């Protein structure tokens, strides 16, 4: 039996906030290993025993402080993380990666290597999948795991020869050994539910503060928006959907074992003022993390009808595309307990929507928003700016469109072209030296547009000020 610690490195803490939910990627790997006789735990280094989440605008403002952590690799926070990992006495440590946390993984993994060279370390998740040369950057990490981590990690901790495991990149005499991708897990209904109990680094009396109500019902996304990592992280052609029956079973499991264990929702995604701003009393809220929960209309209707029929009484939120909605879906959502639909509108300019291959027009998106309003389903609107070639006039179209849809919450981003996306490759080909920028800059609350110098500061500020509309939401639920 191997002892494995799966780590979500600090990110929001460096921005002056924190993140208290369970990360599903590593939680799935942990339960897969635990079912097979190993001892795998989750360590969320972004957790804080604190209930004040800062506002999104503040995240933008804290960028300079954030950068300081990477200049001081001896900062007390890095030592705290290292010490918590070592106190677990792991045989293996695995880190979940996205582009912005690669620098954090580098700092932590180097400290672990110097403290105890016998601990084997691996990295997986979206950036590891997109960057096949990651081990050249992360010199203290032994293995990089591509795409779904369950099978490759199990083979690693069973001490199979890493140079022969599909989905694992390792080091050889002549450079990196890449065994290609592991076969996709076809039947995701049969995966064990993600780990929700073995939480390391948190005192027992605080475990109730962890939001474990995230559920993944789809692996992959069939769309190809150029700024999004999903088309390459997952294989668009093998998008897999869990059956409604299996999703309901996990909801019931959550309700039975976890829902009454918490006093209030500390939801990590609740980057709002404080717990009083949350009106969700005495429970958590299921978060369906799928890229597009509504991707298959027939399935989503069946699932919603089952939620209603079984009278689950659980509130939930999901991510969707406006052009998937129809009146029936919206009405079923309202009846089935939908507290929020998160919609990536991205832009109010059809020129930009076309450029990024959103495959949706603003007229279609407006229709979707109208249907949600008619059915009384609250929705959050996600917008982006800073696309290459985007002008002040385009951003103004976005601002006008945003006001027109009257969303319950506005989440505003400035584009970060993630490594390995189509947009990243286009920009590199057009002479943007993105590879010279530190990895930690690639997240969408870094305030300065990375690849656009056409948008004026004044218009950018007007765009960011859309967040002021959030205080006026009818329901007062803010960001959930």
Calpha distance 369→464 (Å, rounded): 21
Using CB under 6 A as the binding rule, whether residue 148 contacts ligand B12 is answered as yes
DSSP-derived secondary structure letter, 10: -
Stretch that binds ligand B12, among 5-13, 298-306, 423-431, 461-469 (CB under 6 A): 5-13
Helices then strands, each counted (H, E), the chain: 17, 16
Question: Between 106 and 397, whose beta carbon lies closer to ligand B12?
Answer: 106
- Total chain residues near ligand B12 (CB under 6 A): 41
Instruction: Please report how close the Cβ of residue 416 comes to ligand B12 at its closest, in angstroms.
Output: 7
Using CB under 6 A as the binding rule, whether residue 98 contacts ligand B12 is answered as yes
Q: Which residue in 142, 150, 360, 394 binds ligand B12 (CB under 6 A)?
A: 150
> What is the x/- site pattern for ligand B12, positions 299-338, by CB under 6 A?
----------------------------------------
Stretch that binds ligand B12, among 124-132, 246-254, 353-361, 384-392 (CB under 6 A): 124-132
Buried b (16+ CB within 10 A) or exposed e, 377-414: bbbbbbbbbbbbebbeebbebbbebbeebebbbbbbbb
State the virtual CA torsion across 459, 436, 105, 445 in degrees, nearest 10: 0
- When CB distances to ligand B12 are compared, the closest residue is 124
Question: Between 218 and 375, whose beta carbon lies closer to ligand B12?
Answer: 218
> What is the x/- site pattern for ligand B12, positions 185-224, by CB under 6 A?
-------------------------------x--------
Stretch that binds ligand B12, among 256-264, 274-282, 325-333, 438-446 (CB under 6 A): 438-446
Q: Which residue in 94, 344, 378, 449 binds ligand B12 (CB under 6 A)?
A: 94
Cβ proximity of 475 and 407 under 8 Å: no
Tokens of 145: 């795991």
Question: Between 44 and 397, whose beta carbon lies closer to ligand B12?
Answer: 44
Using CB under 6 A as the binding rule, whether residue 126 contacts ligand B12 is answered as yes
Question: Between 85 and 123, whose beta carbon lies closer to ligand B12?
Answer: 123
Calpha distance 140→132 (Å, rounded): 16
The alpha carbon dihedral of 274, 278, 280, 281 has a sign of: positive
Contacts of 289 (CB under 8 A, 6+ apart): 24, 214, 215, 216, 319
Q: Which residue in 229, 371, 459, 466 binds ligand B12 (CB under 6 A)?
A: 229
Using CB under 6 A as the binding rule, whether residue 127 contacts ligand B12 is answered as yes
Calpha distance 432→386 (Å, rounded): 14
Question: Between 148 and 390, whose beta carbon lies closer to ligand B12?
Answer: 148
Calpha distance 398→275 (Å, rounded): 31
Q: How far apart are the first and last CA of the chain?
A: 39
Which of 413, 359, 410, 365 shows the shortest CA–CA distance to 385? 413
Instruction: Please report how close the Cβ of residue 306 comes to ligand B12 at its closest, in angstroms.
Output: 22
Using CB under 6 A as the binding rule, whether residue 352 contacts ligand B12 is answered as no
DSSP-derived secondary structure letter, 184: P
Torsions phi, psi for 179 (to 5 deg): -90, 10
Q: In what helix (H) or strand (E) does residue 412 lie, and over which residues does it extend?
A: strand 409-414
Instruction: Please report how close the Cβ of residue 308 comes to ligand B12 at its closest, in angstroms.
Output: 25
Instruction: Please report how close the Cβ of residue 363 comes to ligand B12 at its closest, in angstroms.
Output: 25
Question: Between 289 and 375, whose beta carbon lies closer to ligand B12?
Answer: 289
Using CB under 6 A as the binding rule, whether residue 365 contacts ligand B12 is answered as no
Stretch that binds ligand B12, among 246-254, 376-384, 440-448, 455-463 (CB under 6 A): 440-448
Using CB under 6 A as the binding rule, whether residue 270 contacts ligand B12 is answered as no
Using CB under 6 A as the binding rule, whether residue 24 contacts ligand B12 is answered as yes
Instruction: Please report how close the Cβ of residue 268 comes to ligand B12 at its closest, in angstroms.
Output: 5
178-182's contacts with Cβ under 8 Å and 24+ in sequence apart are 178/132, 181/146, 181/147, 182/146, 182/147, 182/148, 182/151, 182/152
Calpha distance 451→458 (Å, rounded): 17
Using CB under 6 A as the binding rule, whether residue 31 contacts ligand B12 is answered as no
| Polymer length in residues for the chain | 480
Question: Which residues of this chain interact with ligand B12, rule CB under 6 A?
Answer: 6, 8, 11, 19, 23-26, 28-29, 46, 94-96, 98-100, 122-127, 145, 148-150, 153, 216, 228-230, 233, 268-269, 289, 291, 418, 443-445
């Amino acid at each position: 039996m191997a002892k494995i610690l799966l780590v979500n490195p600090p990110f929001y803490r460096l921005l002056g906030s924190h993140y208290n939910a369970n990360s599903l990627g590593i939680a799935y790997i942990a339960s897969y290993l635990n079912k097979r006789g190993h001892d795998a735990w989750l360590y969320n280094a972004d957790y804080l025993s604190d209930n004040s989440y800062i506002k999104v605008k503040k995240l933008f403002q804290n960028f300079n402080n954030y950068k300081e952590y990477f200049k001081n690799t001896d900062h007390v926070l890095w030592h705290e993380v290292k010490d918590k990992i070592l106190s677990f006495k792991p045989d293996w440590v695995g880190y979940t990666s996205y582009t912005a946390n690669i620098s954090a993984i580098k700092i932590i993994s180097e400290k672990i290597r110097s403290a105890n060279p016998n601990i084997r370390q691996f990295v997986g998740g979206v950036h590891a999948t997109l960057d096949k040369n990651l081990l050249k950057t992360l010199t203290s990490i032994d293995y990089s795991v591509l795409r779904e981590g369950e099978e490759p990690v199990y083979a690693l901790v069973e001490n199979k020869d890493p140079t022969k495991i599909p989905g694992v990149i390792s080091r050889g005499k002549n450079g990196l050994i890449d065994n290609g991708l592991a076969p996709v897990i076809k039947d995701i209904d049969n995966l064990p539910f993600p780990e929700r109990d073995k939480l390391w680094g948190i005192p027992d009396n605080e475990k109730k503060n962890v939001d474990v109500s995230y559920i993944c019902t789809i692996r992959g996304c069939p769309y190809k928006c150029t700024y999004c990592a999903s088309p390459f992280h997952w294989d668009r052609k093998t998008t897999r959907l869990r059956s409604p029956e299996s999703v309901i079973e996990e909801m019931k499991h959550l309700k039975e074992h976890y829902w009454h264990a918490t006093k209030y929702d500390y939801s990590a995604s609740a980057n709002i003022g404080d717990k009083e701003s949350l009106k969700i009393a005495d429970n958590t809220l299921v978060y369906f993390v799928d890229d597009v929960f509504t991707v298959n209309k027939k399935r989503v209707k069946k699932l919603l009808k089952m939620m209603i029929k079984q009278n689950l009484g659980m509130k939930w939120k999901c991510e969707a595309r406006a052009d998937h909605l129809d009146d029936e879906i919206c009405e079923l959502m309202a009846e089935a307990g939908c507290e929020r639909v998160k919609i990536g509108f991205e832009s109010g300019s059809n020129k930009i929507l076309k450029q990024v291959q959103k495959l949706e027009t603003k007229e279609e998106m407006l229709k979707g928003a109208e249907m949600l309003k008619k059915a009384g389903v609250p929705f959050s609107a996600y917008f982006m700016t800073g696309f290459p070639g985007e002008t002040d006039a385009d951003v103004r179209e976005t601002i006008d469109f945003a006001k027109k849809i009257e969303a319950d919450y506005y989440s505003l981003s400035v584009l970060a072209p993630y490594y390995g996306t189509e947009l990243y490759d286009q920009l590199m080909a057009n002479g943007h030296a993105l590879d010279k920028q530190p990895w930690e800059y690639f997240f969408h609350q870094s305030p300065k547009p990375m690849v656009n110098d056409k948008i004026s500061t004044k218009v950018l500020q007007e765009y960011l000020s859309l967040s002021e509309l959030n205080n006026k939401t009818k329901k007062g639920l803010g960001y959930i």
